[in-house]
Structure 1
Amino acid sequence: MDFPSKKGNEMVVPNEDGSYTILINAGLNYESQLKAYEHAMSHITNDDFLKGNVQEIEYYAHHPHKDPEPAQIYLDRIKQLQAERRRLKKLIARDQKRVEFIQEHCDMFHRAEHHYLYGDDL
């Protein structure tokens, strides 16, 4: 298939029936098309469509026999935890501002009295 841009050698599309369609750039020479096909097949055989980290997927597609060093696994996990911690800190700060706003601007006695007099119909 002629790809609309010069980028990319192949594309793999998962089908509804569990099979895959491999599209290979027709602008490549025969040898490059074979390499593109092998690359696409490596994604299929490694179940890469079930994974989420594109960088890791491409690393293993280009280095199929190299396992990551245990130290690298540990460092990657630390980076993930640090990113998650930063994200949670932002959420906590946002929620803390909301709680402060409610504490400053809501009269809980008035709400309790209204609930006592009129029930849940606020």
Structure 2
Amino acid sequence: KDLSDSKIVIMNFGSTINLAKDLAEEFDASLIDMNFVKPLDNKKIKELAKKHQLLVTLEENTIKGGAGSAVAEFLAEENLEVSLLNFGISDEFVEHGSPDHQKVSSGLGKEEISEKINKRLETI
């Protein structure tokens, strides 16, 4: 889904595609399903950073050392000034529970993500 006039692009990495689709619909955002982290599609990220005001990465993986940090590193290296929000698993022990419980407790719940996106939108 490409909405070039949208402020937001959601960059999905992996199994969080359904959540990414829900968020894209809620925020009328562009949605890009990034097929892989390595090698990172730097050309696509640069293009997205120039067209949107907020880049949101979404992954069911740790952010540190994962897709979110790779995108942040690339934006910094290229001196691209765009707001970035990374959603994934924190670098800490994940408590036992159902997959849905683990996602919510790890910060991958739709409501929590929506709230953080709305807060960021207030600043841009």
Q: Please, what TM-score do these two structures have when normalized by structure 1?
A: 0.26
Q: Which has the higher contact order (CA 8 A, sep 6+)?
A: 2
Higher helix residue share: 1
Q: Please, what TM-score do these two structures have when normalized by structure 2?
A: 0.25
Higher strand residue share: 2
